[in-house]
Structure 1
């Protein structure tokens, strides 16, 4: 079987080791591939590595044994495991952008009196790493610590809009996408059109795409601001989010992100 070339983002500045261990390299390449896709199948891995299915299965079995991947559903697709996400979270704790961005969240919440979030992009998943809830009786609850499909949230779509079309298609190799509600974007074609609109507008929106009765607006930090992709989000009950509110919040978020980006590094 012909060996596939690694994705461009997999390269490093370091020279290859004098005595490379192919099995270790292949296991690491699987983890890197998982960073670009929401899930992997045995055939995907075998084709990407250019190895027999039995070899790919042994590599996946070892990664699953150590908790770096897990299998879900009838499709037996592989997704990130608790060991992998734990390592990522530990690294993020050492690079804790929350302390720097927190005053900007507090200012947004004080001005808008709505729930605000800070999110990061992890493959095709959004993880909410900070939040401050609205003081109002009817409000959107904090999503702190939660993870959601990026295509279903304004936060995720804002960060995805910074990627090239090729990068988006590598992350989403299939046309069908996972959804959370009847309003979720469920096709790659629809997602690509939405991302183009976000690039023109400068902010992303969501109306009951991740949760019923919830609307939101988000703006991503410029590329290169930090080692991870970041975005600020304002979440509002859909009953009090008008088109005027969307534009007002979007512009406010853009100004806030521009200011905060100068301090995040």
Structure 2
């Protein structure tokens, strides 16, 4: 076996067995590694998104990349049931196509959706996967999950273009994401985050024809959606 890989996996298992978070000394003790060795491995895992740190907190947590791998391997029926009432409330209050999406690896996975009853509408993408870059929901995850942003944009920034950083920063500042005909001509979208235990776990999106959803309307809908999400 490759020792460095074995040690990294032992550290991840240690954090998992500790309930998803553990201090460095605890990790070193349980894995029988020197604290300096454990720290160096944790630094690499953190850079890759497999563990994360929280502000003013010395513990190491399982990162979004581990959680996304678990999502790919498992099923999201429990999360879907939890978020479905909020999705139904959004559909009823707005009359537009609404959806719930989650980060899955380096893609966006559309977990659930309710299609608008209006003749001119956005189609449901439930069950589909799309690239992280290029949509409002992707911007939302890139803005709220720093390790995902570093991983996605670091090696590919030259191919994606410099404007993406400004869009992500703007999304982070206002708290919700906008897409005005970027993903698809004639279609506008707004997306708001669902935060659980201090971390963005999913995003709610709404999409519809550009002529029905100008910027002013999208901003109003973001407030409506955020209010519904706050009651989950």
- 3-state DSSP of counterpart to 2:195: coil
User: Residue 137 of structure 1: SS of its match in structure 2?
Assistant: coil
Check 1:144–1:167 CA distance in 2 against 1; reply closer, same or farther (3 A cut). Answer: closer
Q: Does 1:208 align with 2:181?
A: yes
Q: Which has the higher strand share?
A: 2
- Superposed displacement of residue 143, structure 1: 0.4
After superposition, where does 1:51-66 map in structure 2 within 5 Å? none
TM-score (norm 2): 0.67
Q: Distance in 1 between matches of 2:50 and 2:184?
A: 25
Give the counterpart of 1:127 among 95, 109, 112.
109
CA distance change for structure 1 residues 256 and 17 in 2, over 3 Å: closer, same or farther?
same
Name the counterpart of 1:239.
211
Contact 1:114–1:234 under 8 Å retained in 2: yes
Aligned residues: 185
Q: Indicate conservation of the 8 Å contact 1:114/1:133, yes or no.
A: yes
What TM-score, normalized to structure 1? 0.60
CA deviation map 1:75-96 (0-9, x unaligned): xxxxxxxxxx9963452336x2
Match of 2:75 in 1: 92
Q: Which string of whole-angstrom CA distances, capped at 9 and with x for unpartnered residues, describes residues 1-44 of structure 1?
A: xx9xx8xx9794554389xxxxxxxxxx99x95989xxxxxxxx
Contact kept? 1:217, 1:246, Cα under 8 Å: yes
Selected match of 1:150 from 132, 144, 158:
132
Deviation sequence 1:210-232 (CA, Å, 0-9, x none): 22222100001125367x72000
Deviation at 1:106, TM superposition (A): 1.0
| 1:106 aligned onto 2:88 | yes
More helix by proportion, 1 or 2?
Answer: 2
Structure-2 separation of matches of 1:249 and 1:35? 34
Call closer, same or farther: CA 1:102–1:224 in 2, change over 3 Å: same
Compute the RMSD of aligned alpha carbons: 3.5
- 1:209 is displaced (CA, Å) by 2.0
Q: Is the 8 A contact 2:49 2:148 kept in 1?
A: no
* Cα deviations by residue, 1:141-194 (Å, 9 ceiling, x for unpaired): 000011111221111211221133x652233222135xxxxxxxx32x322211
Equivalent pair of 1:123/1:171 in contact (CA under 8 Å): no
CA–CA distance in structure 1, aligned partners of residues 72 and 197 of structure 2: 20
Residue number among 1, 9, 16 corresponding to 2:31 in the alignment: 16
CA pair 17-122 structure 1, distance change in 2 beyond 3 A: farther
Per-residue deviation, 1:255: 1.1
